[in-house]
Amino acid sequence: MNQAFGNIRAIAKRELVSYFSSPVAYVFLVIYLLMNGFFTFMAGGFFERGEASLVSFFIWHPWLYLFLVPAAGMRLWSEERRLGTMELLFTMPIAPWHAIVGKFLASWLFLGLALILTLPVWITVNYLGSPDNGVIICGYLGSFLMAGAYLAITCMTSAMTRNQVISFILSVVICLFLILSGWPPVTQLLDSLEMPRLKELAASLSVMTHFDGFGKGVVAFRSLVYFGSVMGFCLFTTGVILRTHRAG
């Protein structure tokens, strides 16, 4: 167990350092913060709402992450395959799942850092009023878990191809499906077609259904299971895909 943890930590450290060894990470962070600020204060009507909350901040995260998370994670395995370093990585005395978990955790920590850098927004709302900080903390937790789910999907699509653009497009399409399956117009359409069971299934598969609870300050066990299951399934599938490539 200690050996496995050491291997995962070494891979994660290597991956995290590679992010900041190029300007890409800094450009990503700047774009993320600027877009968060725009959607919160301009598109979200932060001041027009006249309430001490971060509803206008979190409501855009499913859509903001739709493009930014795949952009951050599309290189995870595509780059390794393109450069031919994946074979070298797996010749090291580590299990494939060590590399998968290590690379995923490094990218997830990077996204967590981006989220932490938005804390001035939290400070601002506390300066202007008296918000329910418990609800805000839940919102941050839900946002972090949702980013992890999107990232795991991107990790899976990145393992499928050595082309980063294709990986990006595939992950955006899958994540968009998980958003739209619980989007009110979709559920209302299923209601009008008198398909209640399909509506319930579609809603249960949607990140919107589970993320909305965090935005209201409710940490539901089923939502934790949902995000954990998406991450677990996608990382497991990543392992299967990588083993297929190695066998081939």
Instruction: Find where tokens 């968009």 sit.
Output: 176
- HEC sequence for 53-88: CCHHHHCCHHHHHHHHHHHHHCHHHHHHHHHCCHHH
Task: Give the pLDDT of the chain (248 residues) as one tens digit per residue.
Answer: 677 788 888 888 888 888 888 788 888 999 999 998 888 877 767 777 767 778 888 888 999 999 999 998 888 887 777 766 666 666 777 777 888 899 999 999 999 999 999 998 898 888 888 888 899 999 999 999 999 999 999 999 998 888 888 999 999 999 999 988 877 777 777 767 767 777 777 778 888 888 988 988 888 899 999 999 999 999 999 989 888 866 55
Residues ≥6 apart with Cβ < 8 Å to 239: 96, 97, 100
Residue 41 DSSP one-character state: I
162: which 2 tokens?
Answer: 């050595």
What is d(CA 22, CA 27) in angstroms, rounded to the nearest whole number? 9
50: which 2 tokens?
Answer: 């006249």
The residue among 172, 109, 134, 108 whose CA lies nearest residue 54 is: 134
Longest C-alpha distance within the chain, in Å? Answer: 60
What is d(CA 69, CA 141) in angstroms, rounded to the nearest whole number? 16
